[in-house]
Structure 1
Amino acid sequence: MPYRRCGASGLRLPAISLGLWHNFGDAADPARQREIVRTAFDLGVTAFDLANNYGPPPGSAESSFGRILAQDLRPYRDEIVVSTKAGYTMWPGPYGDWGSRKYLVASLDQSLDRMGLEYVDIFYHHRPDPATPLEETMAALDHIVRSGRALYVGVSNYTGEQTRLAASELRRLGTPCIVNQSRYNMFVRKAESDLLPVLEQEGIGGIAFSPLAQGLLTDRYLGSALPGDSRAAGNSAFLRTEHLTEDSLRVARALHAIAEGGGQSLAQLALRWVLRQPAVTSALIGASKPAQVLDAVLAARMPALDAGEVEAIEGILRRDA
């Protein structure tokens, strides 16, 4: 597994990280959850990404991961990076959402309890809060590090300018912002002009979530029939049938032809395309089976895309723009 330095920090992260956004709630098979995490760790995926509201229900992904930690990974705590977040709705009332100091500290204490940990390696503010002063939110992150609850802090879903302001305030407080986690894939490219240049300028590592566009950039939907057990067939909140437009499927099939010509899967091509960016430290994948983790890890071991491959991909994406 290649490991990359996270911005200007001393922390190195695997090129592929495992997110527990999907498939780790109470309805999922605990044995399958355990198999996915164990496979990931055995393949060198040392970074596991959570949030307080992951499930469903909220909190259940952290509880599931806590059980796996206790069963399998406790002896290896110093060889893994555990991250969690707070910023979306977690509990009703005025103190369970957004970015107040009260919410962030209380939420992280609950997360640590669910996972059975004394600290997380990275704690993120999950989304900008238009009502709470940025200074308060960043002061809460600074307090969280100084209190020993987290080793590092970062932000998620912040624009380039919001990231610059957050990094400046954290720098003033003495706790650097080392990482930004944002959506980035072949279909969602705003980060290239808005965020990635800021990350390079500020010395902040980038984590690309949804690098496979919730499955659109895999071999899953290339056929004429919708797979019955797929996320889209279940009308998931993350990928609905209306997302599978003629244009998006046409692009995916054209990209698949490039991937096939290079002896790789479409998912591997999509991951290599994200990882080509200097500002991207790690691509954050989800998985419903261990084989998907292996496929992603193999992509990380492949050479960087060459200029010809990038130009061919860009030609397809430009025609779709």
Structure 2
Amino acid sequence: MRPLRAGLLGLGMMGRHHARILSGLEGVELVAVADPSGDVHGVAGGRPVESDVQSLLTHGLDYCVVAVPAVHHEEVGLALAAAGVHTMIEKPLALDSGTARRLSAAFGAAGLVGAVGYVERYNPALQQARKRVAAGELGELYQVVTRRQGPFPTRISNVGVVKDLGTHDIDLTAWVTQQSFVSVAARTAYRSGREAEDLVAVVAQLSEGTITNHLVNWLSPFKERVTVLTGSKGAFIADTLTADLSFYANGRVEQESWDQIANFRGVTEGDVVRYAIAKPEPLQVEHEQFRDALLGKDADIVTMDQGLATVRVTEAVLESAHTGQTVDATLG
């Protein structure tokens, strides 16, 4: 069986990492890359360097990875769909739900595999948390809390922290819990002199009643990437910087009198376990899953419909911050 012929559009900070993975991905041949600024990071490896999507399409692609600014996603995505090329588009799928819906519809109508590049979903700690939640190890899931903060990345120019960093937390929360967002209430701040928001605090409710809280900013001098899942049997803490997953079990409370039992309704601290887990590179796993989806194998990809749902939640977050009201986050 011949290798899948892949192309890469966008050779910036994220695109160079995609080039590295694609260059060594089993069953795949990276045949050409494209960027209007050229190969600024020197990642082409002797392959043709084109300037735009139409030139890239002349290389007979089976699929393409798109790592250009989100403002260009609709133009290049629709061109790739029209050409019959399976595509993974870096997050967010689009800057608004109307554009995201058109992209998802175009790939669906063409019978193509379309995906969104949410690499955080493939972090080993979250992969393990997802399996263990599904297996009932937390019991009933009460709450998801995420903290994603750090200094401002100079690569960001056209979106705020909600549609950049915040979309990771929306996607991973919906995926780990297998629930959709129902409503959100949010507040934002503008502290760094940019037009777009650089801090957001979100409280949301999911489709099965789980409550979530997301704190995201570009204002902290330290980097933090933490997800806490609390359920009836204890809590998982996933640190995606170190790819560590820990479990804090509820303790057994010994009571001496009926009055004490009647008054106590909380939990105590039990055993703590840090799991020994394999730690493959998340971007490598993301590419392997997309490749397998193209080959018709079982694969866990972020579909464009899921990407669309995430964009809708970001719109609800920003609407809530603007109006001061709780906003419906479901797709209309």
TM > 0.5 fold call: no
More helix by share: 1
* TM-score, normalised with respect to structure 1: 0.35
More strand by share: 2
